[in-house]
Amino acid sequence: MERPGERGGLLFIDLDNFKPINDTLGHEAGDAALVAVAGVLREMTRPVDLAARLGGDEFALWLEDADAAATGRRAAALCAAALSLSPWPPGRQGPQLSFSIGGAVRAAGAPQGPDALVAAADAAMYAVKRGGRGHWRLAPPPRAEMAG
């Protein structure tokens, strides 16, 4: 029997272009942008999932019992939803908010533990940031140890 948390997808979400909002419009506008992000995550999270703010403009989302396809679909939907976030008041323009998302999937009985899953999602997210931001990438599945 599978235990809760045994299988699922982990998404690391970084809010792109957050610093210009704080620097240009002030911390109140930055706080409002973070509240809007929380609203997007809340709307796109099932009761069995878990969303958390890691700090600053970084968030994590655990997708209970999700496989790679479901994790990828949720990441793509989050990237699309981020484009509706518009912190700039009428008449002011600035960079568009977007999400850079890295994901990793843990299958039941998978060889990697939680630390390896977190490291894989984090590495995938930073690969997205280096590749231009505003999109998502899943880490490759872990390789099983070869029997000697």
- Which pLDDT score is estimated for 146? 44
Tell me what the pLDDT averaged over the chain comes to: 87
CATH label, 8-138, candidates 2.60.120.260, 3.30.70.270, 3.40.50.2000, 3.90.1010.10: 3.30.70.270
User: Which residue among the candidates 14, 16, 57, 122 is catalytic per the annotation?
Assistant: 57
Q: What are phi and psi of 79, to 5 degrees?
A: -60, -40
What's the Cα-to-Cα distance from 73 to each of 21, 38, 114, 135, rounded to whole Å?
A: 28, 19, 22, 12
Q: Could you state, in order of their start, the residue ranges of all structural domains in the chain? A: 8-138
Give residue 21's pLDDT: 86
- Which of 4, 139, 142 has its CA nearest to residue 65? 4
| Cα–Cα dist 37/99, whole Å | 10
pLDDT in tens, the chain (148 residues): 445 557 899 999 999 989 988 888 888 888 888 999 999 999 999 999 999 999 889 999 999 999 999 999 999 999 999 988 887 777 777 788 899 999 999 976 666 788 899 999 999 999 999 998 899 999 988 765 544 4
The reported pLDDT for the residue numbered 111 is: 66
Known catalytic membership, residue 57:
yes
